[in-house]
Amino acid sequence: MEPLIILKDIGRKYVIGTEIIHALKSVSLTINKGEFVALMGPSGSGKSTLMNILGCLDTPSKGEYILNGINVSNMTDNELAEVRNKEIGFVFQTFNLLPRNTALDNVALPLVYAGVNKENRRARASKSLENVGLGNRMDHKPNELSGGQRQRVAVARALINNPSIILADEPTGNLDTKTSIEIMGLIEDIHAKGNTIILVTHEEDIALHAHRIVRMRDGLVENDFANPNIQKVDRTIAVIKEATDSIKEEAK
């Protein structure tokens, strides 16, 4: 498999008054194209700091971060913003939608920064919303949508630029159990189409959807292993899909 992300001895320290906080001490990690990885860890483990570096929202104090063959470790803020827009699609716990904009305009926003003309923006945003099952909600604003629908808008926005990575930060944190299952099903569908997914979560049941689980503790990778239950999860998903398809067929 071809590496998409290579982290070499990544460290991140913060100076607070006279104290130096080592949020990340030394993290080396490789994530290949097409992987579905869950990033876990308790509060203070360095999980959020690592997520910010992976998402090019922050730069390391030491080490190298190679993203899709490009060293992004020492880039300026403007350079990082360009990388984020091209290479990374974000899905946040709080959705991060503009409240006065329609679903269509929210999804099209990354294309504005990419310099795409209005006609193409609307066409691509419409297609992206249709792909997440919201073709009939394009003109609705966030307060006119359910939590699950808002997260689907966020997923559609994350996919709009065909990014190298989908970085999902606690994507089910504000959703009920039923809606969480629906959103994770959508994320699994996206992965099945070849996208690389990095899922940041503290929920064990959500992490079990990933094929690989990386656990952080005290600024280090505590363990990194293939999900032993993934075949069981895949079989369960297949059974549910078969039952759903059967119900749909009977309803015709």
Query: Is 105 a member of any domain?
Result: yes
Residue-range definition of the domain harbouring residue 209: 34-59+76-251
For residue 89, the domain's CATH number is 3.40.50.300
157 or 43, greater pLDDT? 157
Structure tokens at 99: 């409240």
Secondary structure letter of residue 144 according to DSSP: G
Query: Is 5 a member of any domain?
Result: no
- Comparing CA positions, the residue from 222, 224, 219, 225 lying closest to residue 62 is 219
pLDDT 10s digits, 94-111: 899 999 999 999 999 999
Q: Tell me how crowded residue 237 is: count the other CB atoms within 10 A of its CB.
A: 16
Q: With 70 as the cut, is the pLDDT of residue 240 above it?
A: no
Query: Is 214 a member of any domain?
Result: yes
* pLDDT band with cut points at 50, 70 and 90 for residue 140: very high
Supply the pLDDT for residue 114. Answer: 84
Query: Is 8 a member of any domain?
Result: no
Supply the pLDDT for residue 1. Answer: 74
* pLDDT band with cut points at 50, 70 and 90 for residue 227: confident
Query: Is 125 a member of any domain?
Result: yes
Domain count for the chain, please give it: 1
Rg of the chain on CA atoms, in Å: 19
Tell me the residue ranges of DSSP E strands in 41-144: 62-67, 70-71, 88-92
Mean pLDDT calculated for residue range 237-246? 53
Mean pLDDT calculated for residue range 14-30? 94
> Full-prediction pTM beyond 0.95?
no
Q: With 80 as the cut, is the pLDDT of residue 143 above it?
A: yes
% residues pLDDT > 90 (the chain): 75
Query: Is 52 a member of any domain?
Result: yes
- The residue written with tokens 């876990």 in the block is 40
Residues 241, 48 contacting (CB under 8 angstroms): no
Query: Is 202 a member of any domain?
Result: yes
Query: Is 236 a member of any domain?
Result: yes
- The residue written with tokens 């570096």 in the block is 53
